[in-house]
Amino acid sequence: MITRERALELLKEHVKTKNLVKHCLATEVVMKSLAKVLDEDEEKWGITGLLHDLDYDYTKENPDEHGLKTVEILKNEDVPEDVINAILAHCGKKEPETLMEKALYAVDPTTGFIVAAALIRPEKKLEVLDVDFLLRRFKEKAFARGANRDQIKSCEEIGLSLEKFLEISLEAMKSISSELGL
């Protein structure tokens, strides 16, 4: 299987947008935390999160290609089929079926939602956030409109309540807050 080091090289090679790199790092750490909670392969789940938006800079003007270009980029890398399928599922190229596919589908908008919550606070830091604050913001339709609430709530399909899912996600992101600049 592809190593984290190689996945990080690919990320730096193909993703030039600083905030998108941070999003991929956040997705990686949340996926690893979920894998630990769900007794799954932490390394594989982390790499899935790290690589999930590898093609975004290339496809942002053509969302129909999102995910497909990543598969093309990864075709000569040692990436397991279940990782490829999760990447395709997160962007709607296949129905999320496995636990990892469903997890990535829910995590993707969640990291952005949590970043948005940190940025509205005067401190602009993850450390000041708690789950209650996130749950209150979650109910506000005008807040972080781009974070699909139904997609986030799909965490229930992996056996986690919204509250528990946000708690795991927030704690994971806090663990790399310096890398995220938050």
Q: What is the spatial distance between Cα 129 and Cα 119, in angstroms, rounded to a whole number? A: 10
pLDDT of residue 102: 98
pLDDT of residue 13: 97
Q: Which fold has domain 4-180?
A: Hypothetical protein af1432 (1.10.3210)
pLDDT of residue 45: 98
State the DSSP code for 156. Answer: G
For the residues 54-76, what does the mean pLDDT come to? 95
pLDDT of residue 29: 98
**Token couple for 71:** 């598969």
- Give pairs for 38-46: CB < 8 Å, separation 24+: 38/99, 38/103, 38/158, 38/159, 40/99, 40/100, 43/1, 43/4, 44/1, 44/80, 44/82, 44/83, 44/100, 45/100, 45/103, 46/4
Task: List Cα–Cα distances, 9 to 47, 58, 70, 108, 115, in angstroms.
Answer: 12, 17, 14, 21, 24
Q: Phi and psi for 147 in degrees, rounded to 5?
A: -85, 105
Give domain limits for the chain.
Answer: 4-180
Residue length of the chain: 182
pLDDT tens digit sequence for 137-150: 999 999 999 999 99
Q: 6 CB contacts (<8 Å, ≥6 apart)?
A: 77
Task: List Cα–Cα distances, 136 to 27, 62, 142, in angstroms.
Answer: 22, 34, 12
pLDDT of residue 32: 98
Q: What is the spatial distance between Cα 132 and Cα 127, in angstroms, rounded to a whole number? A: 13
Confidence tier at 160 by pLDDT (50, 70, 90): very high
Residue with structure tokens 């589908």?
Answer: 105
pLDDT tens digit sequence for 42-60: 999 999 999 999 999 999 9
